[in-house]
Structure 1
Amino acid sequence: MAELRTNQPGTTAAEKPIIVLAGSTGDLGRLIAKYLLARGAVVRALVRKGNTKPEVQALRELGASVVEVDFNSVIELTQVCAGAVCVVSALSGLRDVIFDTQKRLLDAAVVAGVPRFIPSDYSIDYTKLANGSNRNLDLRREFNQRLDQAPITATSVLNGMFTDLLTGQAPVVLFSLKRVMYYGDADQPMDFTTTDNTAEFTAAAALDPTTPRYLRVAGEVATIRGVQKAASEATGQQFGLLRVGGVWVLGAMIKATKALMPPSDDVFPPWQGMQYMHNMFTGLPKLQPLDNARYPDIRWTPIREVLATRK
């Protein structure tokens, strides 16, 4: 295992809270590292052995202490967790990652005496959804059931949908058609939070020993009509609405898409995104109450500002 270093001249790990961060090379993980460092933490960014991606060097340049570790070894993970005040996971994957790898990380945190653990949730409120309605969220529910049995304080950050996806990846704001597509009720409130805001809030929560089991935030709560207004304001062009049908139509499309697609290990196949939108359009996983005011220094980015960044 690599030597643990703070990369902060003139300081030692004993003078600053240590946060162990898994999934640090992803977009969300890198931003969590940035905000943790800005708040004065020492960040031990865990990466797989032999990882030479540019994101690893970017973490070093931020000031994180990059530690190569075997994620299959609870012993190595326990060593790297020693002295930490919180373990934060931003891991992404299927069951082998969300349950198996996170369980090893959890076991290591418990053995090392880490007081707090933040799992890789960052989603709508999956606790309100039935099993089978969303594969990726089912995995998070399964892991959190195990987490609740562990002798460690856990906090899940729930942020709705990443607002950034509205710029193209999520087929909601159809820029070429100047339409906002939806199923069901155009007045159903939904939660949207940017990746950046989610990371900033998670960093603050990681350094806050008083967090509850769940923290719920929304950079903006908006209906489809609200998204339509934001798109019109952001582009200076009038957007209309495109209702495809009831929520049940989307549910039927999901079943058909899954049946027609061959099995794969893709974390985000087309039907997975459709499941997420289906969940949101039902209104079942709406976040409430919201904890936006918990860290008043965070400025929440509205949908309009995000849509305005699209080229």
Structure 2
Amino acid sequence: MTTTVLVAGATGDLGTRIVRALLTHDAHVRVLTRSASSPAAARLVAEAGGDGPTAGESRLSVVEASYDDHAALVTALAGVDVVVSAVSGTRPVIVDAQTALLRAAVDAGVRRFVPSDYSADYRSTTPGTNRNFELRREFAATLDAAPVRATSVLNGAFTDMLTGQAPMILFGRRRVLFWSSADQVLDFTTKDDVARTTAHVALDPEAPRVVEVAGDRVTARSVADTLSRLTGTRFRTQWAGTTGTLSAMARIGRRLSSDDPADPFPAWQGMQYFVTMFSGEGELHHVRDDRYGDEHWTTVRDVLAAHLGTDRA
């Protein structure tokens, strides 16, 4: 039987990729949005059009509901088999909105729920060291108490961030920063690979509570070596301090900031992510990249080569 999947946060970057991945399978997809006429939702419907005039639209629909409207959410979830959440934000989203979505899913008889985790292993991090992970852990407790089958996708960091949002690589100075150890294993997966995995999970009724994948596992030292080979110029690792010092800096930054609830990634939160990665607390220990067959995984080298416009051996 065809599975009906509702995607929350479908018009965001990762959510859009998840919708695309689901549509490559025999699935009916509902896009949950606050406004059914939003340009982003319209683009998804147009993109899903397929070769025929209504080929894609028959498998993709847009439903409108606000997270503070329980009745509307229940209506939007009627007949849904799996909820996939790809929402992004802080407490009002990760805890409050997802809890509202979960309660409506239970009342609508939805059997499975995939929360918006898509991260390193937040379950093992020290309390107080990563705000966003603590919010995920808080919602996970609520999810585990609900009468639905839950599956979290853990993938380390997004590889895509290495060329921009995550300032670990200083391309102009030919340096790769590290904290504490240049040989700490770091898990990376591209957003497209995470989306593909999430689609598999959504369509797998026997998926376990946690699915761990890593498109690549590298160290700061191996990243520097890769960049050296790609560019033909020596990249060096550069010690940036200890994870303890970085954690203290993050705490100070948080106290001095306005802590805008609409900003999930202020500078101090980025510091907290590096603490999680380089301390080893968030490292994945049960990676199964072959869970859904022999897939192609985009490596760190692939992403860096594309960014640099080179493909040296």
TM-score by length of structure 2 reads 0.91
Q: 1:192 is matched by which residue type in structure 2?
A: F
Shift of 1:297: 4.3
Bigger mean CA deviation after superposition, 151-160 or 131-140: 131-140
1:268 aligns with 2:248: no
C-alpha distance in 2, partners of 1:262/1:276?
A: 19
C-alpha distance in 1, partners of 2:84/2:153?
A: 11
C-alpha distance in 2, partners of 1:47/1:230?
A: 41
42, 62, 67: which one pairs with 2:28? 42
Shift of 1:170: 0.5
Shift of 1:298: 2.3
Q: Classify 1:26/1:234 alpha carbon distance in 2 versus 1 (closer, same or farther; 3 Å).
A: farther
Shift of 1:250: 1.1
Gaps (5+ residues) in structure 2?
Answer: 49-59, 309-313
Residue pair 1:19, 1:44 contacting (<8 A) in 2 also: yes
> Equivalent residue for 2:286?
289
Residue pair 2:115, 2:151 contacting (<8 A) in 1 also: yes
SS of 2:208's equivalent?
coil
Q: 1:80 is matched by which residue type in structure 2?
A: A
Shift of 1:50: 6.1
SS of 1:292's equivalent?
coil
Residue pair 2:212, 2:287 contacting (<8 A) in 1 also: yes
Residue pair 2:182, 2:219 contacting (<8 A) in 1 also: yes
Q: 1:284 is matched by which residue type in structure 2?
A: E
Residue pair 2:36, 2:63 contacting (<8 A) in 1 also: no
> Equivalent residue for 1:153?
149
- How big is each residue's C-alpha offset from its partner over 1:162-199, in whole Å with a ceiling of 9 and x where there is no partner? 00000021010111111101111111111100011000
Bigger mean CA deviation after superposition, 141-150 or 257-266: 257-266
Q: Classify 1:114/1:241 alpha carbon distance in 2 versus 1 (closer, same or farther; 3 Å).
A: same
> Equivalent residue for 2:167?
171
> What percent of counterpart residues are identical?
47
295, 305, 308: which one pairs with 2:302? 305
16, 36, 51: which one pairs with 1:30? 16
Residue pair 1:125, 1:287 contacting (<8 A) in 2 also: yes
RMSD: 1.4
Q: Size of the alignment, in residue pairs?
A: 296
C-alpha distance in 2, partners of 1:61/1:236?
A: 44
56, 72, 77: which one pairs with 2:41? 56
Q: Classify 1:274/1:109 alpha carbon distance in 2 versus 1 (closer, same or farther; 3 Å).
A: same
> Equivalent residue for 1:9?
none
Q: 2:4 is matched by which residue type in structure 1?
A: I
Shift of 1:103: 0.8
